[in-house]
Amino acid sequence: MRWSRLRLLCALAVVTMCASLTFSQASAAEDNTSVGGGARAVTAWAVAAVGQQQGECFPWIRRVVQSALGISIGNDYRLGYLQAGAVEVTPQAGRAGDILQIAKDSDTSPSADYAGLHTALILENLGGGKFKVVDSNSNFDGIVKIRDGYDPGASAARYPGLSFHIYRLPERSSTLPAVPSVVPASLTLGTPGSLSIGGGAEIAADGDCLRVRSIAGLSGAILGCLPTGMRVTVTQPGPEVDGYRWVGISNGAIAGWSSERYLRPIGASAVPAPAAPVVVAPAPAPTPRIVSGVIPPRGIGLIVFSGGTNAELLAASGCPAETASF
């Protein structure tokens, strides 16, 4: 009995010590606030765009990450991060370079569109659930701004069903692209005198058509394939990814990213004006007639009339007006 009790006490001691050790290791991992070169690159690219018109928050964050790290975040507001290799961290562990995502856990699909949906990049963890962030479109104006004291918990609580998550992107050991002084509006498109923002371009693909992708890079989903010779408008500059310089284009029906290599400048906006609608003259009305059936000299008959007025029906039937009844 003594040995059994002693063994039980030792076992409890070992379990307690192991549990404490595991908790300490987890706490140490969570408290790791060192910022790597990748996170610094992402924040630098984002801050360099402050004051610029960059549109909606989530697409802008995806472009920044693509430009800074060459990592493509998918279209889903949760799976997009995880598929890109990001991990979720707690608000206490959030640090510069992490991404704040407010969304409904029940609907993070690419088609999600509801009040309160927002994406921001952390610049500093201020503690108490508040952060210094940089984001776009916070005032529905498409402008990139830095906000101090941003509270994602309070922002999510304004709308039912919303919550927030913090995602940390994987570090890249390869050489990171240099950060321009202004991004991405200052990125040049090829040589001077070539493509220009708002200008026109003609598809000059090696094959039959040029693929238009959802994001810059070969990993982007193919939205369509525009035939050689089609004219498009260049909408925005993009990064150099997978060996290609990417630009935003639109033909009025499809808007996305394509390689600059397969576009030929043609001057002003190249999207042709909509063609005048084709007016088809209405077919002439059919001549009123008896389509089928026979009217007997006396009695009741069943006929099919092609349509018209009572007078036209009377004329087509051949019945005397004083005896006919329809």
Tell me how far apart the alpha carbons of residues 102 and 164 are, in angstroms, rounded to a whole number. 4
Tokens of 64: 């920044």
- Residue 72: pLDDT band with limits 50, 70, 90: very high
Q: Per-residue pLDDT averaged across 44-48, rounded? A: 88
Tell me how far apart the alpha carbons of residues 316 and 164 are, in angstroms, rounded to a whole number. 77
Task: Say which DSSP state 316 is in.
Answer: H
Lowest mean pLDDT of 101-110, 186-195, 284-293, name the range: 186-195
Tell me how far apart the alpha carbons of residues 52 and 257 are, in angstroms, rounded to a whole number. 20
Tell me how far apart the alpha carbons of residues 205 and 211 are, in angstroms, rounded to a whole number. 9
Instruction: Tell me what pLDDT residue 163 has.
Output: 97
Write down the architecture of domain 200-267 according to CATH: Roll (2.30)
- Residue 23: pLDDT band with limits 50, 70, 90: very low
Instruction: Tell me what pLDDT residue 140 has.
Output: 87
Q: Quickly count: other Cβ atoms within 10 Å of residue 27's Cβ.
A: 12
Does 295 have pLDDT greater than 80?
no
Instruction: Tell me what pLDDT residue 38 has.
Output: 87
Cβ neighbors of 160 (< 8 A, separation 6 or more) are: none
Average per-residue pLDDT for the chain: 77
Query: Is CATH 3.10.129.10 the right assignment for the domain spanning 37-168?
Result: no
Instruction: Tell me what pLDDT residue 219 has.
Output: 81
Does 68 have pLDDT greater than 60?
yes
Instruction: Tell me what pLDDT residue 120 has.
Output: 98
- Residue 8: pLDDT band with limits 50, 70, 90: very low
Tell me how far apart the alpha carbons of residues 185 and 60 are, in angstroms, rounded to a whole number. 12
Does 169 have pLDDT greater than 60?
yes
Q: Per-residue pLDDT averaged across 268-297, rounded? A: 55
Instruction: Tell me what pLDDT residue 128 has.
Output: 96
Instruction: Tell me what pLDDT residue 293 has.
Output: 67
More confident residue, 205 or 151: 151
Side chain identity at residue 12, one-letter code: L
Does 166 have pLDDT greater than 80?
yes
More confident residue, 306 or 15: 306
Tokens of 47: 């801050």
Q: Quickly count: other Cβ atoms within 10 Å of residue 205's Cβ.
A: 19
Query: What percentage of the chain has pLDDT greater than the value 90?
Result: 36
Cβ neighbors of 302 (< 8 A, separation 6 or more) are: 293
Q: Per-residue pLDDT averaged across 44-52, rounded? A: 85
Instruction: Tell me what pLDDT residue 306 has.
Output: 65
Tell me how far apart the alpha carbons of residues 288 and 295 are, in angstroms, rounded to a whole number. 16
Task: Say which DSSP state 235 is in.
Answer: E
Does 225 have pLDDT greater than 80?
yes
Does 14 have pLDDT greater than 80?
no
More confident residue, 245 or 166: 166
CATH 3.90.1720.10 segments of the chain: 37-168
CATH 2.30.30.40 segments of the chain: 200-267
Does 32 have pLDDT greater than 70?
no
Pair 77, 112: CB distance under 8 Å = yes
Question: pLDDT digits over 77-134, tens only?
Answer: 999 999 999 999 999 999 999 999 999 999 999 999 999 999 999 999 999 999 999 9
Instruction: Tell me what pLDDT residue 311 has.
Output: 74
